[in-house]
A and B are shown apart, each in its own frame.
Chain A
């Protein structure tokens, strides 16, 4: 049997909803009283699961409930789940930023967490001074940092600026420097939370590569949280799927990702309560076939219309809707509704409909998921990941000898034209 790097036993975290005031003092006293009499915590038994769409009866909510997780030494474990599923809470407990309400975690060695890179950088200090400071914050001794100083500087690629105060750095350089320090921390267990969302592509590749080196080469354990299913599926050996604070399943990467996508996205159509407090919010999304019927199974030879309705509350400039089409392997494409023939740049208050047409014979047979983002320049108003799914079926087309058959390589159907002849 393999060794465990980290195990959690019935790990739970309870949060109190609403404001902290006199009520919380009252509950604190009740707890203390129960403890004095040697009874169990009176609030341990109550509390709703963390499903935010329905209003619970209790003031307490379980951000995590009874998580039993075993992480093997040397593996990369991905953690997936929608926003609010408890991923961040789990990471916060593991990296000791907050403590659990019940249950326990045990692990061997050091945990290094990369919840954010460049934590504690002081703008007035130079790059070199900040490497030492940041390293110490992450738990390295001065000697350890000195030994790796050159490696860190080289990895970050900022040799020229090393004696310049960090406030003169570009944001990309700060991220690179931050990751470089953290990547050289060499803890037994490394926790990574979506830091890869920043930085340029070249650097992202470097980070992913470094993470692979860390786990495969040195036998270290990595917990990786990301919404990027592509990164999860290429990096992780196993995946844990969290939903509403509970662990749904842990297992082989592809299987869990499929289960996640299947259960988290609905089929054909989805309606939302419009949030009037936001400048704009999404009201509905539907997938329609050629006959304008709302369906979730399409023929390869059929175009797909993705229709989104959103409501704008006030006159505003620059609202953009973005659509991401994904399959199990990761995102296929990303598109904005201001790329339309007649884009709307100035919205007046009211309801809008945008429709994106996926041409026929583009998507290979398989399962697809849509992610919707509604935003303004510099601000994401609403992000709905993998909100809706649909299937493309081989259907009426005879698939014999076609390159785009499900079992053949390639991600999409390409309709380039062959020309053949004897020469």
Chain B
């Protein structure tokens, strides 16, 4: 077996532009193994196993239907409550899970990061990718409920928009990974931020159209919600699957652009911090 004879130089404070993308590629096997590990080990030694993936959104949807739909009477654009909430919860929980998990990458993995070197970005990336398994299972639940209502003829999907779903998931993943890497980098030195993030994610849900449609927002607040890169993504899904909502290509492009930008920024800061975080964490 021959090893690549590359010379390496370890120096202090590499510039912000040292992305180490090659190295990420060299460690692709590790990424795959981490993803496998994350998926395989979550529900080991539980009786219901992956069924938990379905129980979580199902119960939350029932609760939302009861609290927001029946008691608070918040509009769902005339769509069936269950379907409306299930769609929002499925995708929002993917986003929130990824963000919460990736945002303390350094603190959680201190033990292993302190012992061996590998590109640290592998860890949050694997978190975001392995969370797709859960999303997929939950999506199946949603599709089941969706097919039922489709059969009843209550909804009119915009079929061509549905094909944008993979792109929407990509943007969700990008935004959560970007923010997650940014926060995990900053929390190594200033721990205050982890408190901010914990309830920040909760508040974020209320400024995103998860439990209400964009159309129910008064005009004077609309601009505020529009800056939220998550809003157009949820609206696109709703427009596609449920046939109601707004589809604005420029807003959708904004989300995509934002996702790319925050991912690049997060990765930059992350690779900068990973060199010395053991000294401050």
Query: Which residues on A are within 8 Å of B, measured CB to CB?
Result: 15, 20, 24, 92-111, 113, 115-116, 119-120, 122, 124-125, 129, 132-133, 136-142, 144, 147, 186-188
Contact = CB atoms under 8 A, between A and B. Distances in A.
B1 A97 contact: no
B31 to A, nearest CB: 9
B114 A122 contact: no
A137 B29 CA distance: 9
Contacts of B116: 95, 97, 113, 115, 119-120, 137-138
Interface in B1-59: 1, 3-14, 27, 29-30, 32-34, 37, 40-41, 44-45
A100 B9 CA distance: 11
Given A97-B117, A97-B278, A106-B9, A136 B44 contact: no
Contacts of A116: 115
B29 A136 contact: yes
* Interface-centre pick from B6, B8, B45, B279 (highest chain A CB count, 10 A): B279
A315 B71 CA distance: 63
Contacts of A133: 33-34, 37
B148 interface: no
A141 B27 CA distance: 8
Given A97-B117, A98-B276, A138-B116, A104 B10 contact: yes
17 contacts: A20-B280, A95-B116, A95-B117, A97-B113, A98-B275, A99-B10, A102-B12, A111-B8, A120-B112, A120-B116, A125-B37, A125-B41, A129-B37, A133-B37, A136-B29, A137-B116, A187-B3
A120 to B, nearest CB: 5
Nearest to A35: B13
Shortest 5 CB-CB contacts between residues of A and residues of B = A96-B117, A136-B30, A99-B275, A105-B10, A142-B29
Contact of A137 (B9, B10, B118): B118
A98 B44 contact: no
Contacts of B9: 104-106
Contacts of B113: 97
Given A95-B117, A186-B1, 8 more contacts: A101-B12, A109-B3, A115-B115, A115-B116, A116-B115, A124-B41, A142-B29, A188-B3
A273 to B, nearest CB: 28
A357 B178 CA distance: 66
A142 B31 CA distance: 11
A119 B10 contact: no
A99 B18 CA distance: 14
B69 to A, nearest CB: 39
A153 B149 CA distance: 55
B70 interface: no
Interface of B: 1, 3-14, 27, 29-30, 32-34, 37, 40-41, 44-45, 112-118, 189, 275-276, 278-280
A139 B41 CA distance: 22
B271 to A, nearest CB: 11
Contact of B8 (A99, A107, A120): A107
Nearest to B28: A141
A96 B10 contact: yes
Contacts, number: 103
A187 B116 CA distance: 14
* Interface-centre pick from A15, A102, A120, A125 (highest chain B CB count, 10 A): A120
Contacts of A105: 9-10
B44 to A, nearest CB: 5
A110 B8 CA distance: 9
B256 to A, nearest CB: 32
A94 B44 CA distance: 37
Nearest to B31: A136
Contact of B278 (A20, A92, A125, A187): A92
* Interface-centre pick from B33, B45, B275 (highest chain A CB count, 10 A): B33
Nearest to A94: B10
Contacts of B30: 136-137
A122 B109 CA distance: 13
A99 B14 CA distance: 10
Contact of A144 (B1, B32, B117): B1
A344 B112 CA distance: 41
Contact of B118 (A98, A107, A139): A139
A406 to B, nearest CB: 44
Contacts of A103: 12
B40 A125 contact: yes
B103 to A, nearest CB: 19
Contacts of A144: 1
A256 to B, nearest CB: 25
B237 to A, nearest CB: 34
A251 B94 CA distance: 58
Contacts of A137: 30, 112, 116, 118
A122 B11 contact: no
Contact of B189 (A20, A96, A110, A186): A20
Contacts of A142: 29, 32-33
A116 B113 CA distance: 11
A99 B117 contact: no
A105 B115 CA distance: 19
A98 to B, nearest CB: 5
A187 B8 CA distance: 14
Contacts of A95: 116-117
Contacts of B33: 132-133, 136, 142
A104 B11 contact: yes
B1 A147 contact: yes
A144 B9 CA distance: 25
Nearest to B280: A20
Given A100-B11, A122-B37, A141 B29 contact: yes
Contact of B6 (A96, A109, A125, A187): A109
A115 B278 CA distance: 15
A97 B12 contact: no
A136 to B, nearest CB: 4
Contact of A110 (B3, B27, B40, B276): B3
Nearest to A101: B12
B112 A119 contact: yes
Contacts of B1: 144, 147, 186
A98 B279 contact: yes
Contacts of A141: 29
B275 A107 contact: no
A96 B119 CA distance: 10
